Structure 1
């Protein structure tokens, strides 16, 4: 799970299951498309979202050892 800030809702924080991310676009806003087709606009840059998702996955694999 990763913590992000929704765009256009006064920075309301959300927790997103990183496993559901299908694509991330910068158009110039960051748009995350989930595997179910739902789209989420966030304040974080595309690179930030990718870094958070990678950190999340590293943490999971670290705990499996």
Structure 2
């Protein structure tokens, strides 16, 4: 889950697993797999960064641990 801010200043939490696309129109618009759209204050890069952090936190990217054996 990532926390984002609507244009009216209210925060909400979004399940990053359902993000299909993130685009700037010029406001950042997030399209979910169910067709819903959210317009947020955060930049595209910030949404991507928060999503990546979430995926790493729940180990969905299966990235090797830093300094660990890659075999």
Q: Do they superpose with TM above 0.5? A: yes
- Return the match for 2:32 from 31, 34, 52: 34
Which structure: larger Rg? 2
Point out where structure 1 has 5 or more consecutive residues left out of the alignment: none
The structural deviation recorded for 1:36 is: 0.4
Q: Which has the higher contact order (CA 8 A, sep 6+)?
A: 1
**Aligned equivalent of 2:55:** 57
Question: Which has the larger share of helix?
Answer: 1
**Aligned equivalent of 1:12:** 10
TM-score when normalising by structure 1: 0.89
Describe the superposition over 1:35-58 as per-residue Cα deviations: whole angstroms up to 9, x where unpaired.
000000000000000000000000
Point out where structure 2 has 5 or more consecutive residues left out of the alignment: 63-71
**3-state DSSP of counterpart to 1:3:** strand
**Aligned equivalent of 2:19:** 21
Q: Return structure 1 stretches of 4+ with deviation > 6 angstroms.
A: none
Q: How many matched pairs?
A: 62
